[in-house]
Amino acid sequence: MPNSVRYYDSTMSGAPQTTTSTGTFIPVLIACLQDGFGSVTVNSLVVASNVATATVSAGHQFAMVGSTGPVIRISGASPSGLNGDWRITVVDSTHFTFTTTGISDQTATGTISAKRAPAG
């Protein structure tokens, strides 16, 4: 499974922070295990030759760790086959790409968002 390993740290955009106060680790667990975090609005999502390219005009903070991209969760896209967890393969400050299968070449529609995918 290509999306099985996920990495989180406190410097990631939108990552919940913890302190030494009782209970502050709970939001970290919820974000990393259940909800995900760092949601951005995707202005354009185009599939061509099994590669999806997303444009985020306002910029995003998804970054490669070495040669491995983060796993992101797409939602709100049509066709619905684009919704789900994907590993980013190429990234710059306003674009990211991921490999798809079984989705014809097209521009996705809908109110599309992307966030760092939860582990669970």
Domain residue ranges in the chain: 26-116
Per-residue model confidence (pLDDT) at position 120: 80
Per-residue model confidence (pLDDT) at position 1: 42
Q: How many CB atoms lie within 10 A of CB 57?
A: 12
Strands (E), the chain: 37-42, 44-48, 51-55, 71-75, 84-91, 95-99, 106-107, 112-116
Higher pLDDT, 5 or 77: 77
pTM: 0.90
CA distance 75 to 114: 7
pLDDT at position 3 over 70: no
Q: How many CB atoms lie within 10 A of CB 14?
A: 13
Asked if 28 and 107 touch (Cβ cutoff 8 Å), the reply is no
Query: pLDDT averaged over the chain?
Result: 92
Question: Which residues lie across from 71 on neighbouring strands?
Answer: 87
pLDDT at position 2 over 60: no
Edge-to-edge strand ranges of the sheet holding 44-48: 37-42, 112-116, 71-75, 84-91, 95-99, 51-55, 44-48, 106-107
- What is the topology classification, in CATH, of domain 26-116? Elongation Factor Tu (Ef-tu); domain 3 (2.40.30)
Asked if 117 and 69 touch (Cβ cutoff 8 Å), the reply is no
Selection from 29-38, 45-54, 65-74 with the highest mean pLDDT: 45-54
Per-residue model confidence (pLDDT) at position 80: 96
pLDDT in tens, 49-67: 999 999 999 999 898 888 8
Asked if 26 and 111 touch (Cβ cutoff 8 Å), the reply is no
